Structure 1
Amino acid sequence: MDLIWERPEPRGRTVVPVDRGRIVTAAVTLADAEGLAGLSMRKVAAELHVSPMRLYGYVATKDELLDLMADSVYGEIAGALGDASGWESALRTIAVATRDSALRHEWFVELIGGRPHLGPNALAVMEATASALASALGPDGGDRLMAALGVFNAYLVGAVRNEVTVLRQSRETGTDETEWRASVGGYLGRRLATGRYPTMRRVLEEGIESDPAEMFASEVAIIIRGVTRTE
């Protein structure tokens, strides 16, 4: 299969310079503003002041463009790893950088999960994650590495998707999280007062004012402790 990652770019001098880097930058800017629903090869071409057909010499399909865009975000995540020292710091950095990137590029959550991305930046993040987990589990934990990697990645995907979904719902409805909680507070209070949901009452009372970043950090700490236990 002729994958975009190994296909050379067209060569030749043109009046308006185009390359995959410029194409991806324009596409990311459009998606940040309009979401993936508002992204098209035609709009990207217009941003670059070239014809849509010009782009197809560099990117054969929209799916290839989405792969390149996703890998550009993974590049942001990989770039954050320079500050990590040790396996635990690396895992925390990957988690925080993934959340930060997803909040900057909300469309990213629509592209993660399912089959893994195989671009160079995505592979670099996968390698860093697997290497950190392997270091944590030690030489005797090799049989747990795949499962630990799956759990860690599944948490990240689910967490960032949920947070982005809440943000989108707030914008679409014109009701932020505080207003939404106030609107359902009376009903929920009556249900909790029945005594049927004591654990959920405790969870809601403790977490209702939690800062999203702090809550995420606490959850990541729990996931890391769980997947790296060697006992």
Structure 2
Amino acid sequence: MVTTEYSGTGDPARSLALLWRTGEKTSRRGGDLSVDRIVRAAIEVADAEGLAALSMRRVAERLGVGTMSLYTHVPGKGELLDVMLDTVHGETARPEDVPGGWRGRLEQIARENWALYLRHPWLLQVATTRPPLGPNLIAKYEYELHAVDGIGLTDLEMDAVVTLVDGYVHGAVRGAVEAAQAAQRTGLTEQQWWHAHAPYLEKALDPRRFPLAARVGTAAGQEYQAAADPARAFKFGLARVLDGIEVLVRDRPTAR
């Protein structure tokens, strides 16, 4: 799964006006068409068909309107993508009371982000080094910073910790998304694929030539009943990331 789009490619003023709905227009030609309806339709297209299928024409077809009517509300695809990103990032749950202190809060955030990528796999195809500065994304950032506020970190360390956790999820979830897509396209679950291939692998794999691969791979395959278990790998890796953050805060006098 490769990057196919970049956020922040639209006109800055028009993107920000659209994100914050400061200049939304109504149009007789558009009927009951609105930015929200257009964005929802665009997200549905991306969810169902992938980001490569997304175009102003395809969104218009889904809405049953002419393509030109979209431009009354949305300047172009670049601005539309920014609002799509901001919209889906508003889906993550943000409970106030999470047990387990800062570690429990970061784990909850990581799991919400994991679920977000699984709902919208196309997010992995958008480079967001220039993120859309919309209300949902900023509210999400604010919430994530609260998870590590008051534990003794500097402001820059707080930003780095949030970035670290979000970046870990972004990388870890790719395997889960690819496994789900492989199952959809082949009609085989990971377990079915493994059971079809494992007997041949056992015959072909020479433990004298690959002793560690044979021993560890056999143990993993028997446990997972698949070549890999992305959810288990995510849980294990997240714990190690949080362990590393704990080292950072352990000796801070205000840590809690």
Partner amino acid for 1:131?
H
Is the contact between residue 173 and residue 234 of structure 2 (CA under 8 Å) also seen in structure 1? no
**Is 1:216 aligned to residue 231 of structure 2?**
no
CA RMSD of aligned residues (A): 3.0
The alignment-based identity, stated in percent, is: 32
Please report how far the alpha carbon of residue 35 of structure 1 lies from its aligned counterpart in structure 2 after TM superposition.
1.4
Please report how far the alpha carbon of residue 187 of structure 1 lies from its aligned counterpart in structure 2 after TM superposition.
2.8
Q: 1:173 to 1:153 in 2, by over 3 A?
A: same
Please report how far the alpha carbon of residue 67 of structure 1 lies from its aligned counterpart in structure 2 after TM superposition.
1.5
TM-score (norm 2): 0.74
For 1:126 and 1:224, the matched residues in 2 are separated by: 18
- The worse-fitting range, judged by mean Cα deviation, of 62-71 and 145-154 is 145-154
For 1:146 and 1:15, the matched residues in 2 are separated by: 42
Name the count of aligned residue pairs.
Answer: 227
Q: 1:191 to 1:147 in 2, by over 3 A?
A: farther
Is the contact between residue 90 and residue 132 of structure 1 (CA under 8 Å) also seen in structure 2? yes
Matches within 5 A, 1:20-169: 20-77=35-92, 80-82=93-95, 84-85=97-98, 86-111=101-126, 114-135=129-150, 138-142=151-155, 144-169=157-182
Structure 2: gaps of 5 or more residues:
1-11, 251-256
Structure 1: gaps of 5 or more residues:
none
Q: Which one scores higher on RCO, CA 8 angstroms, separation ≥ 6?
A: 2
Cα offsets for 1:23-72 (capped at 9, x unmatched) = 01111122222112222211212232322111112211212212211212
Aligned partner of residue 57 in structure 1, secondary structure:
coil
- The worse-fitting range, judged by mean Cα deviation, of 50-59 and 80-89 is 80-89
**Is 1:6 aligned to residue 17 of structure 2?**
yes
By percentage of residues, which structure has more helix? 1
For 1:142 and 1:196, the matched residues in 2 are separated by: 48
Aligned partner of residue 17 in structure 1, secondary structure:
coil
Is the contact between residue 112 and residue 157 of structure 1 (CA under 8 Å) also seen in structure 2? no
For 2:121 and 2:156, the matched residues in 1 are separated by: 35
For 1:200 and 1:118, the matched residues in 2 are separated by: 49
TM-score (norm 1): 0.81
Please report how far the alpha carbon of residue 16 of structure 1 lies from its aligned counterpart in structure 2 after TM superposition.
1.8
Please report how far the alpha carbon of residue 159 of structure 1 lies from its aligned counterpart in structure 2 after TM superposition.
1.4
